[in-house]
Structure 1
Amino acid sequence: MTREELMSALSGLRQAQIGNRRAPHKPLLVLWLLGRFVASGSTAVTYDDVEEPISRLINDFGPAVTNRSRARERAAMPFVHLERELWDVRDRDGNGMGPDVPERGSWLRTRGAQARLFPEVEVLLAEPGTLAAAARLLLEQHFTPALEGPICDAVGLDLADLDDTVVYLPTKKKQRTRRAGFAEEVLHAYAYACAFCGYDGALGRHPAGLEAAHVRWHNHDGPDEVHNGLALCSLHHTLFDLGVLGLQPDMRIQVSQLYVARSPAGQAVDALHGRPVATPRPGRPSVDVQFVQWHGQQVFKHPAASAA
């Protein structure tokens, strides 16, 4: 396997169809494995090693779980189905396990399931620039920029400390370039103030801590247009991309029932629930309801359904 073939395989990870919701399970597993490789020089793991941290990553950075009883076993899907050109899965006796085994943590634990990225993949990851490039590829394809820092922290990756040599990354899906001018247009439309809390700080003539947020993420076909944007302060942008904050169809703010805070500053987020989002300046379009619906389905953290 060459570096180009590895990048092509990572860019083409097949995503499960879960009711038309995004399923970043495999990218999160691979990112966690990259962090483990940096720390230990190996990606060899048992399912017991993987279940808790990967399930937590999927719960934190993927769509909300719909079945509470499955929340602790979400790692089973990527562990079983990560592409076999990259991932070697075996039982405790060393027998190969195909991708048709049950996606059940109890079944995998009973059989002592273990896996690792193939040695030739690990050799490539040890080459200068490859691991950082692989991590950036997965982050750019599957997550919004506001989540890149939290995800890297969660998986133990500090890309600034890794060799970030630019390499050619062949992809099966051509990446869209962000349109220049989007951020300025969105901030101007909302009068350089956060649409959630009204924060309008500036350093001299320059906005400070204000950002243009995509409602439907850019890397999930969200257009770089004002009707898919909100001016948000840095805090509320991050909470919006994490799914703590969302939008109701009538453009009122909703706060996830999974959010908890003890301090007055943290509880100020709860106080946003039910407040109307600021409207853009005259002549500028409001957020299109189709993008509000996408965010509600794909990002906002709804409470888990009770186990049957």
Structure 2
Amino acid sequence: MTYDELMSVLAGLRRAQIGNRRAPHKPLLVLWLLGRFAASGATAVTYDEAEDPVSRLINDFGPIVTSRSRARERAAMPFVHLERGLWDLRGRDGSDIGRDTPERGSLLRARGAHGRLRPEAETLLAAPGTLAAAARLLLEQHFTPALETPICEAVGLDLAAMDEADLIPAGRKRRRRRTGFAEEVLQAYAYACAFCGFDGALGRHPVGLEAAHVRWHSQDGPDEVHNGLALCSLHHTLFDLGVLGLLPGLRIQVSPLYVTRSAAGKAVYALHGEPVATPRPGQPAVDAAFVLWHGRQVFKRPGAVTPDVRLG
């Protein structure tokens, strides 16, 4: 396996389909394994060790489920179905565990399931720059920038400390963000948060304001004003985490799963049902198709995910 082959395998991870929603189960398992490798130099792990932390990652950064038993065992899906060109999965007796094995945590625990990234992949990950490049690829393909820090913290990766920018081999292509997108979105909303109206500035320079994609850039969202909102840093993060969402008619919705005790936290509740600010004349409002995408793929709503799971 070469560097390019490893990156190709990671870029081509087949994703399960949960209803019509994204299911970043495999990328989250691999990111967790990369964090494990960064800490110990190895990825070998039993299902029993992986079940709780990987299931929490999927619950936090993937689509929601309502069944408590399913929430506890969500690591079973990627543990079984991660591509075998990358992943070696065996039982207690050393026998291979096939991808047709039922995705049940109780079965995997009973069989003593344990896996590791293949030795040739681990050898490549030990080379300067490869681990950070692999993590960056998965983050860019499956998530949005506001989630990079919380995901990396959750899996134990410090990309800045790896000096990734200097170590990524030349020639690796990324889907670049269009220059000017952020400024166009901020101008369209008169440099004020479309949710709360925050318009802070340091002298003549706006502070704490960001251009948010409604349909994420990593999920083919265009760098255009009709897919953007000017949001303060707090509401951008809450929007990307699915705490805040949009209703048809461009009103704000707050996830029923959001809880708080402080007065500052309760200010988020007050946003529910409030209209999103309209852009300046001549600028397009958010396209309804992107509102629908965010509602289906990001917003945390109880009962939003059906049990209809089809492996891709």
Q: Identify the TM-score tier after normalising by the shorter chain.
A: over 0.9
| Corresponding residue of 1:51 | 51
Q: Secondary structure at the match of 1:147?
A: helix
| Corresponding residue of 1:166 | 168
- Distance (whole Å) between structure 2 residues aligned to residue 84 and residue 11 of structure 1: 14
Alignment gaps of 5+ in structure 2: 308-312
| Corresponding residue of 1:267 | 266
| Corresponding residue of 2:276 | 277
Structure 1 residues 306 and 211: CA distance shift in structure 2, 3 A: closer
- The one-letter amino acid paired with 1:75 is A
Q: Secondary structure at the match of 1:34?
A: helix
Alignment gaps of 5+ in structure 1: none
- Distance (whole Å) between structure 1 residues aligned to residue 201 and residue 304 of structure 2: 43
1:193 deviates by 0.3
- Distance (whole Å) between structure 1 residues aligned to residue 225 and residue 128 of structure 2: 40
1:273 deviates by 0.9
Instruction: Work out whether residues 90 and 114 of structure 2, in 8 Å CA contact, stay in contact via their aligned partners in 1.
Output: yes
- Distance (whole Å) between structure 2 residues aligned to residue 119 and residue 138 of structure 1: 20
- Distance (whole Å) between structure 2 residues aligned to residue 232 and residue 193 of structure 1: 7
| Corresponding residue of 2:36 | 36
Structure 1 residues 233 and 306: CA distance shift in structure 2, 3 A: closer
| Corresponding residue of 1:114 | 114
- Distance (whole Å) between structure 2 residues aligned to residue 241 and residue 200 of structure 1: 20
Q: Secondary structure at the match of 1:136?
A: helix
Q: Secondary structure at the match of 1:194?
A: coil
- Distance (whole Å) between structure 1 residues aligned to residue 171 and residue 15 of structure 2: 20
Structure 1 residues 258 and 43: CA distance shift in structure 2, 3 A: same
Structure 1 residues 144 and 307: CA distance shift in structure 2, 3 A: closer
| Corresponding residue of 1:157 | 157
| Corresponding residue of 1:223 | 222
Range with bigger deviation, 65-74 or 77-86:
65-74
Structure 1 residues 306 and 5: CA distance shift in structure 2, 3 A: closer
1:65 deviates by 1.9
Instruction: Work out whether residues 296 and 304 of structure 2, in 8 Å CA contact, stay in contact via their aligned partners in 1.
Output: no
- The one-letter amino acid paired with 1:167 is P
| Corresponding residue of 1:188 | 187
Normalising by the residue count of structure 2, what TM-score does the alignment of the two structures yield? 0.94
- Distance (whole Å) between structure 2 residues aligned to residue 212 and residue 231 of structure 1: 5
Q: Secondary structure at the match of 1:74?
A: coil
- The one-letter amino acid paired with 1:31 is L
Q: Cα deviation per residue 1:253-283 (whole Å; 9 max; x = unaligned)?
A: 1111111111111111111111111111111
1:206 deviates by 1.2
Structure 1 residues 129 and 306: CA distance shift in structure 2, 3 A: closer
Instruction: Work out whether residues 7 and 169 of structure 1, in 8 Å CA contact, stay in contact via their aligned partners in 2.
Output: no
Aligned residues: 305
Aligned CA RMSD, in angstroms, stands at 1.7
- Distance (whole Å) between structure 1 residues aligned to residue 148 and residue 304 of structure 2: 28
Q: Identity across aligned pairs (percent)?
A: 78
Range with bigger deviation, 15-24 or 89-98:
15-24
